[in-house]
Amino acid sequence: MDGVSFTRRLFTLIGLVLLQVLFLNRIALFGYVTPLFYIWMIVRFDSSMSRSSILLWSFFLGLIIDVFSGTPGLNAASATLLAMFQPGIVKLFVSLDRHDVVVPCSAVMGSRPFAGYLLFVTVLHHTVYFILRSIPLGDWTVLVLKVVFSTLLTFVFMLVAESVSSGSGLKR
Amino acid sequence: MRSLLDFIVRHSYVFLFILLETLSLVLLFGFNDRQKEAFMTSANSMSGTLYSWRSGVGQYFSLRKENAVLVQENARLRSMLYELTDSQYVDMEKGMSSDGVVAARVIDNSVRKDDNYMTIDKGSRDGIAQGMGVYSPAGVVGVVMITGKRYSVVMPVLNGSTSISCKVKGSDSFGFLEWTGGDPYKALLRDMPYHSEVTIGDSIVTTGFSSVFPENIPVGTVAGVEHSRNGYTLRIEVDLSVDMSRLGWVYIHTKTRDEEIDGLYEQVLK
């Protein structure tokens, strides 16, 4: 299967789901700032994967988080939307002359483009997530605050994850 | 025709995307609340098991505090028991039986959201039913909202939809306890008659009218009193006696309303 084995993907998925529902969902700074770090899995899908399998993995990742968080469809919808645009967003941040497989990480993309990519992806996902969650839309300022601060928190988590994975060399 | 097929095959992921996204949105908006309750809450056994495992691990870290609370409660109960035995003959067997009370462990809890929920590890097979009162040694916690077979979801005081009838200890005028969001240590007692004598520091307890809770379960203390806008009632700010963020074990009051009272209500409402 596409580069990384199915089993390994499955373990990543289980690990991220457990981390999200057991620990991160409990974080609710000021009542609404929650890191949605589980999108790390979608962030790291490389360009060798077919778009259909990216969509399916992301949909099920979101759906399983939903089952445990009591929010049917919310994470599934926002994760699937992110998965649809992830390959295109990666291309925005990589120089055009590359034809080989692009793994989204700082070693391949360079740390500044990678950070930009992370921020772009997170803002997109969190905006969709919080808009869907706050329907019917009432207070725009609260919505913007939720998006901004949760994005920052998720972004920090992802930077830590990136430095751990690139430092240990376990993940490519 | 050929090129159309090619186009469809090449862009099959677009159709997959539309399918998955539609499915998600149907899940998100298509279900009414009842259907959601059935399988998408932590009353379902899968997430119940997971949360109970987590709280099983987490509980070791708060054992000392839990113990202290239990010891205090023990002491209070003992002193009540002695008062009773002093005054009258008490059937010890009956007095010590835990009839009508079920103890449960809190396995999932939130206090910082707009509407908070709590999951406990007892369900319909333990005799828990919707509408039963939940309290801890320190005081009122909430009301059972949904029961699964082994787990239940509790709507705690810290939820916008909760309303519990309460009174000032020792008086008969009562009001309804509600939560307006924000501070998890404060709630509001509404609809108290304006002539009731309330002073800061008074204890607020349950009325026992609805038989959801027994009478005189502590709720909190009065932190502030003001007249409501219409002038006929008081708005009382209450410091909750229970720290909702540190709940380990809770009791569920399973003695529901008398059948006779139920029968009477039915007659009235006919």
Residues of chain B in contact with residue A74, where contact means CB-CB under 8 angstroms, are: 24, 28
Q: B68-100: per-residue pLDDT in tens? A: 777 777 767 766 766 665 545 544 444 444 457
Strand B118-120, strand B203-206: pairing: unpaired
Q: What is the DSSP letter of B27?
A: I
Q: What is the rounded radius of gyration, in angstroms, for the C-alpha atoms of chain B?
A: 24
**Contact between chains at A28 and B112 (C-beta distance less than 8 A):** yes
| CB-CB contact of B154 with B195 (8 Å) | no
Of A28, A30, A73, the CB nearest to B110: A28
The pair phi, psi for residue B24, each rounded to 5°, is -60, -45
Mean pLDDT of B10-36: 80
Q: Do domains B45-159+249-256 and B164-241 have the same CATH topology?
A: yes
- Which residues of chain A approach chain B closer than 8 Å at the C-beta? 21-22, 26, 28-32, 50-52, 55-56, 59, 62-63, 66-68, 70-74, 76-77, 80-81, 83-84, 132, 135
Select the residue from B21, B114, B151, B180 to test the A interface by mutation, using most A Cβ atoms within 10 A: B21
**Residues B45-159+249-256, CATH architecture:** Beta Barrel (2.40)
**Contact between chains at B16 and A71 (C-beta distance less than 8 A):** no
pTM equals: 0.64
All structural domains of chain B with their residue ranges: 2-30, 45-159+249-256, 164-241
pLDDT at B86: 52
Nearest CA of chain A to the CA of B173: how many Å?
34
CATH superfamily to which B164-241 belongs: Rod shape-determining protein MreC, domain 2 (2.40.10.350)
Domains of chain A by start residue, with CATH: 6-168 (1.10.1760)
Task: Tell me how far apart the alpha carbons of residues B191 and B234 are, in angstroms, rounded to a whole number.
Answer: 6
pLDDT class for A171, splitting at 50, 70, 90? very low
Q: A149-163: per-residue pLDDT in tens? A: 999 999 999 999 998
Q: How many residue contacts between A and B have a Cβ separation below 8 Å?
A: 83
